[in-house]
Structure 1
């Protein structure tokens, strides 16, 4: 499913959308003749972005050098460049945020507008010029989802046409996957509620910030079930040439044990509404080539934005009162109240 042509907006962080012309399904972005295409894989971590990136790279998309490599809990690798990780961490930290930030504070304040981030765009562009010379290059680093406009602008300046693949996975499966990672790495275990908030933020931003570029949604379960069909969908939707020379390599990579946490039940709603189910259903439909309910995603985004902003203000104030409470021991409180009572008695204002 390719997003229709629209004017650039603040949500795409000032990305110069004139470099792309999206005319309909199966048509690639039209820039200068012979321009290479850079394919951004977006979505929340543990949503199948690594598997999707590797399958597409085995189908003809060139990978960057300097990849992160495999770990004990992800033996097949992440397929993301270390330089991109470092750049995204630097940018997020520079704006008082991180990949673990569930808030939309930075997005609300326009922190990732291209106009106010030219230095970061220059750094990204310099890195992108080191990518392999190929008709199609693929790049994945989940934190790009929080600021794709900077990467899109830098890619355009570096001579690329832009396209996006958005990875979709049942959020309950992501909760299980993150819990397993915590066990393997002796890492901080996040709550299901926090995972759902992260998933909502990344999913909403991935969809919202790619409306001006050619894109396609791929569900992780569908990739594992029939990777040939999904590769074909990506190729047709984005108008890029994907041809697999070694199907055996993909078959070996996508072994059944790659999906440890299969969930067929309903989506749990930790926030008292229908946000998680609504977003997952909309993106799942798009991954099945059904119409994307953009108005439903807009509704959830606005509800999440307003609720998150209100609770964030309340929690920040609550922390200040908590700090005050910790500083004022019962002894100090008692001493202060007794002194105040004595003062009132002397003035005759005691009540």
Structure 2
């Protein structure tokens, strides 16, 4: 079971619920902190793997670029990487029959995980968590800090990244065994969406959960976990981006109730619209990008000049070099290819 979708969407709550009901989260897990006091439900080695692959791909966790999906797909298509992930899964399946793999970075590498699961003769299932974009962006701004020179710039980047992540996650899981769960529904009454997952995906851990496990989930899920409930009035983004984000939410919300070809086509149209809008924004910002590249190149040249290694001859004190007869110094320079040019006769 892969729990996917944007970070701060309730993925940790879903993974923790499935773990409590008996599914296995590979150990050790990422340690809980102030941003997620009840735990992340993330296997440490999975997070480390994704972090490594994102670095190699030059992609951020929340990347707004449509082409970033091509970059991560190229990286994760490596045969050695797929064999490595399959070996890790095999080891986990020796401990349990039903695994939960959760990490906000996972959506970038679903093809890799699907191929690895196939090698293990395992069935892949996907649950995508849905939370309104304003709450996701607001939660990230609250717990992960501001981005860029101002808060509006961070909101714009994170809103665009949410659209990019959610629409491509929908596309990547299409045709697979999947479900979309609203975070609000999970908090209001977790039993309905979670036991529906158990039936739809034939999850023994959920279907055979004991009363003590169910009671533990009731203690684990706290409606106060929804600590950030911002609206567009609290987040400054351009109207066109706001409209596209709203429509993306409406399309995904519709798929949660009706995963039909009509709603999938709606997502395709939005993905195309987003790519066009992003390309337009890149064209507007081209001069800024060029200026930044020139500045970076100038700084690199300046640093290279400051750090240029001195030759062995240059490291000899001047007083010592002066003791060498002029004719001998000239021969040494000629031998080292550093002969000084002669002035006019």
- Is the shorter-chain TM-score for this pair beyond 0.5, marking a shared fold? yes
Within 5 Å, give how 1:294-309 maps onto structure 2. Answer: 294-309=264-279
Structure 2 match to 1:32: none
Shift of 1:179: 2.2
Structure 2 match to 1:151: 113
In structure 2, do the counterparts of structure 1 residues 50 and 320 end up closer, same or farther at CA, with 3 Å as the change threshold?
A: same
Structure 1 match to 2:197: 234
Match of 2:219 among 240, 252, 259: 252
Shift of 1:159: 2.6
Match of 2:290 among 284, 300, 320: 320
- SS of residue paired to 1:164: strand
| Preserved CA contact (<8 Å) 1:172 1:268 | no
TM-score, with structure 1 as normaliser: 0.73
- SS of residue paired to 1:147: helix
Structure 2 match to 1:206: 169
Within 5 Å, give how 1:1-351 maps onto structure 2. Answer: 39-108=1-70, 111-113=72-74, 116-132=77-93, 133-182=95-144, 191-241=154-204, 242-243=206-207, 244-245=209-210, 246-262=213-229, 270=238, 272=240, 274-289=243-258, 291=260, 293-312=263-282, 314-321=284-291, 324=294
Structure 2: state its 5+ residue gaps: 299-345
Deviations 1:177-236 (A, max 9, x none): 11221369xxx9772211111211111111000013100000100000010101122123
| Preserved CA contact (<8 Å) 1:65 1:131 | no
TM-score, with structure 2 as normaliser: 0.74
**Larger Rg computed on CA atoms:** 2
- SS of residue paired to 2:100: strand
How far, CA to CA, are the matches of 1:327 and 1:121 in structure 2? 36
Shift of 1:126: 2.1
In structure 2, do the counterparts of structure 1 residues 156 and 113 end up closer, same or farther at CA, with 3 Å as the change threshold?
A: farther
How far, CA to CA, are the matches of 1:104 and 1:193 in structure 2? 15
In structure 2, do the counterparts of structure 1 residues 193 and 158 end up closer, same or farther at CA, with 3 Å as the change threshold?
A: same
How far, CA to CA, are the matches of 1:55 and 1:325 in structure 2? 49
Deviations 1:264-301 (A, max 9, x none): 88998635153211211121122235646111110111
- SS of residue paired to 1:130: helix
Deviations 1:319-346 (A, max 9, x none): 2235658999xxxxxxxxxxxxxxxxxx
In structure 2, do the counterparts of structure 1 residues 290 and 147 end up closer, same or farther at CA, with 3 Å as the change threshold?
A: closer
How far, CA to CA, are the matches of 1:139 and 1:270 in structure 2? 35
Higher mean C-alpha deviation, range 46-55 or range 90-99: 90-99
- SS of residue paired to 1:165: strand
Shift of 1:249: 1.0
Shift of 1:307: 2.7
How far, CA to CA, are the matches of 2:295 and 2:173 in structure 1? 46
* CA-based RMSD: 2.9
In structure 2, do the counterparts of structure 1 residues 108 and 308 end up closer, same or farther at CA, with 3 Å as the change threshold?
A: farther
| Preserved CA contact (<8 Å) 1:155 1:162 | yes
How far, CA to CA, are the matches of 1:326 and 1:207 in structure 2? 37
